[in-house]
Chains A and B, each alone.
Chain A
Amino acid sequence: DQQVKQNSPSLSVQEGRISILNCDYTNSMFDYFLWYKKYPAEGPTFLISISSIKDKNEDGRFTVFLNKSAKHLSLHIVPSQPGDSAVYFCAASALGGNTGKLIFGQGTTLQVKP
């Protein structure tokens, strides 16, 4: 049972344009969401997070939007840069539970073309 899904395996955008990465979840107990970026041969790097009490969180070029009624979150990168090319994972957790385990999606490979 895939509780966190990233339905687009890959995305290609032009440098300077907006990149939008999407993520859907099924478990209504999830109350904290995160985005990670991963380069080959490295561990995931934390990008941005959002609590379920918010619908938007912004950090520089990165903005995460949360739509709880649709159980959907998205990561916007504006403007996209070639260095943003990587695999992006969304992750969810239920902080109200006893463990802080993260449930990850399958990842979306972003390619930013110069």
Chain B
Amino acid sequence: ETGVTQSPTHLIKTRGQQVTLRCSSQSGHNTVSWYQQALGQGPQFIFQYYREEENGRGNFPPRFSGLQFPNYSSELNVNALELDDSALYLCASSFSGGGRNEQFFGPGTRLTVL
């Protein structure tokens, strides 16, 4: 069974640029969630995708957008990067339904905005 993978591992961008982060979900999972983790904080929910549609969004501006593909993999896009966007971006996959909510995380993408 393949776990959650993310690419790239590290990324350096400058303010105003755009970035795309990628995530492959765990086999058998149909839901992908994205989180932002700032240094010394817990992960913060950005949004979730289920059946290729956004299924809930946290307190993040519209320049944060995403996609889910038919194979359940996902992308996170961030436009007009700001210095405060520097963080660890985590993708988590899960299976929706069954009264449980265990989400399994990838290793994350470390984004630095200069």
Contacts and interface: CB of A to CB of B under 8 A. Distances in A.
Interface of A: 4, 32, 34, 36, 41-46, 49, 51, 89, 91, 93, 95, 97-107
A105 B108 CA distance: 18
B107 A32 contact: no
A36 B104 CA distance: 10
List the 5 closest A-B pairs by CB distance, nearest first: A99-B56, A104-B42, A43-B105, A101-B45, A44-B105
Contacts, number: 76
Interface residues of B, number: 29
Interface stretch (B62-70, B79-87, B94-102): B94-102
A95 B48 CA distance: 14
B31 interface: yes
B54 to A, nearest CB: 9
Contacts of A41: 107
5 contacts: A34-B102, A43-B108, A44-B43, A100-B94, A104-B43
A104 B48 contact: no
Contact of A102 (B4, B33, B40, B108): B33
A89 B42 CA distance: 7
Contacts of B16: none
